[in-house]
Amino acid sequence: MNSKSIKQFHLYEWYYLLVVLAYILTMATKLVRPGIFASVLFLVIALELLIRKQVVIQKECDYLVIAYIVYNLLSVIWLTRSGLPVSIYLEELSTSILPIVFYFVGRAPMLQKNRFYRFFLLGIGVLFLVGLILYIAAPQFFMDFLFDMQYISLADVPTMRLRMTSVVGSTLVGFLAVCGMVVSMNFIMQGNKRIQGFICFFINTIFAFLSNQRSAMLVAMIVFVYMNYLVFFTFQTWKKKYLIYELSAVVIALVGLCLFYISAVQKILARLVSLPSAIGERSEQWVVAMNTLYSTWLGNGLGANGHKALGIEGTHVIADGGLVKLFCEEGVIGFSIFLFLLIRLCTKRIHSLKECYVEFGIIGIVLLQSVGSNIIAFQLATPIFWFAVGAAFTEASERIKENM
């Protein structure tokens, strides 16, 4: 590897592919620990950014992110004072705080966004391909693996095929698929990559619905509307008459599904209709957790309401509801820093939508899905969120163009 190749190699571009491969290897051996592997990658990526002098701390947003990190690090003080073990703090640190290194990846002057997004699509593409093969072949070892990981309740074919889980679970498959839809738009808007972009968009849409996750299916529909808004109104890539053609094709496709595969349509509708009641059921859990805070201002501390605290006396785990979980753990102070960061992003960059429409799309997906799931606490979900925040804050003029 010559010096030019070394200069063009960036570990953060390979993160998703490497972690996906680690998850795939867990089917063969339990010696592979994807969580530990991902944590090591976060630290090495941080070191890479420091060595290459790509850590940018110049704007208000950068200081807000640092304040957010420091606040969460300090939360171990009141977490342990409430009697909870440090272990849940350390485990949550690896899933929620270490991934914030990708904020600084998004802010890096030498970042090539198109290249990063290509690697992201490659990583989730491998995940989906492996998942599809196993979904169709349905080998017993795969079903046993899913049962051991608690992704399915019974190790049989009918249960396994209720949802597309691949090797990471249906929640992540659904989330990554809708993110893939938004990232695909980055290439749809480029004339020379438009066909590839549409193919990726279509494939990711299919997997969003195969996941059978209510939030993923709903957000996929919203992303479809968002794409059309960008294509026909923001970028005006095509004449508006093609929107009529597209809507007609969608109606014909839906009619065809109703005629030849009505069970699939009924299944999707049943899942979507049940969404309000599901949120209502979870709200009781949220109210209990919010009424038992160690401190309203400080919160319970990092990890106190996450899955790692399950079974520990005195904890109220929020299994589904990432934003409520954030508030309970960070309190008014920490959650306000998080919200203020996103509000500042909207006020400063919403007028530059043509420049950061992908990033706004990803952030919107995370916030929407965090209403009903803890998506922001997954090591395959949190990095792309923080990357989007960092990249959205960075104007094109701040990038150093490289000859790739």
Q: What pLDDT sits at residue 2? A: 59
Q: In this structure, what are the phi and psi dihedrals at residue 151, rounded to the nearest 5 degrees? A: -85, -25
What number of other Cβ atoms are within 10 A of residue 154's Cβ? Answer: 12
Report the candidate in 305, 264, 303 with the shortest Cα–Cα distance to residue 288: 305
Q: What pLDDT sits at residue 152? A: 96
* In the chain, where the domains are located: 3-398
Handedness of CA 112, 58, 356, 390 (dihedral sign): positive
**Rounded distance between C-alpha atoms, residue 347 and residue 368, angstroms:** 19
Residues 6+ apart with CB under 8 A from 350: 360
Q: What pLDDT sits at residue 403? A: 38
**Rounded distance between C-alpha atoms, residue 176 and residue 231, angstroms:** 22
Handedness of CA 279, 280, 282, 285 (dihedral sign): positive
Q: What pLDDT sits at residue 278? A: 79
Alpha helices in 291-401, H assignment, sequence order: 322-349, 353-369, 382-393
Q: What pLDDT sits at residue 4? A: 62
Residues 6+ apart with CB under 8 A from 139: none
Q: What pLDDT sits at residue 45? A: 98
pLDDT tens, position by position, 372-385: 889 999 999 999 99
pLDDT tens, position by position, 241-270: 999 999 999 999 999 989 888 888 888 888
3-class SS of residue 236: coil
Q: Which residues of the chain, if any, have pLDDT below 50?
A: 402-404
**Rounded distance between C-alpha atoms, residue 326 and residue 189, angstroms:** 35
Question: Token pair of 292, please?
Answer: 């038992």
